[in-house]
Amino acid sequence: MSQRIILTGATGMVGEGVLLTLLGQPEVETVLSISRKPSGHAHPKLHELLVADFFDLSGMEDELTGYTACFFCAGVSSLGMKEDAYTRVTHDLTLHVARTLLRHSPQATFCYVSGAGTGGQAMWARVKRRTENDLLALPFRSAYMFRPGGLKPVKGQRHVLAAYRWFSWLMPLARLFNYASTLRELGLAMLHAAERGAPANVLEVKNINQLAR
């Protein structure tokens, strides 16, 4: 079955890596990138929907119809943010997009990228866990929460966090202990979950790497 995928976060490191992976897969028919600014990439499969405010998708609903999956890769760092502000741009925004999509592509699989450590005691981890729980409670055909750790960029990426350039030499060791994946593996794991399901609704690094194979 051809996959028609909505993607958020294409101008960030995670979303861009997933985007470039998806564009190279023959089973992916189209990718609709929803973002505040252009991704900077051009491809016959890529279509971009630019929005000023993710909380206001009015007038754009028809463009969200007929998709098989949504890969929600958008996110912000919690550094320096208070819990209420972080909750709004993490939990509330994600749930708003998910509920909008549910009305227009109810058969879609929803894949959300949270992160390793979600569910811990830190503020960001509690907010992410609440987001995961509320997404899993929505009546999507299926929904999966992805918790990657360290991530190796894919070839051609422009948006790469400086820390990943400095510490790339640690990736082989991190992979050995199931602390890291490549962004290609994350993209493939999400695609495979949308195509054929996954063994669990919450996927840690080891599960992501296995599902990507």
Q: Does the reported pTM lie above 0.85?
A: yes
Q: What are the Cα distances from residue 3, in Å, to 61, 135, 169?
A: 19, 21, 35
CATH code where residue 127 lies:
3.40.50.720
Tell me the per-residue pLDDT of 10-44, one tens digit each, with 9 for 90 and over.
999 999 999 999 999 999 999 999 999 999 999 99
- The parent domain of residue 191 ranges over 3-212
On the question of pLDDT at 112 being above 80, the answer is yes
Residue 180 tokens, joined: 């890291």
- Given a cut of 70, is residue 177 above it in pLDDT? no
What crossing angle do the helices spanning 183-196 and 13-23 adopt, rounded to 10°?
A: 60
Q: How many domains does the chain have?
A: 1
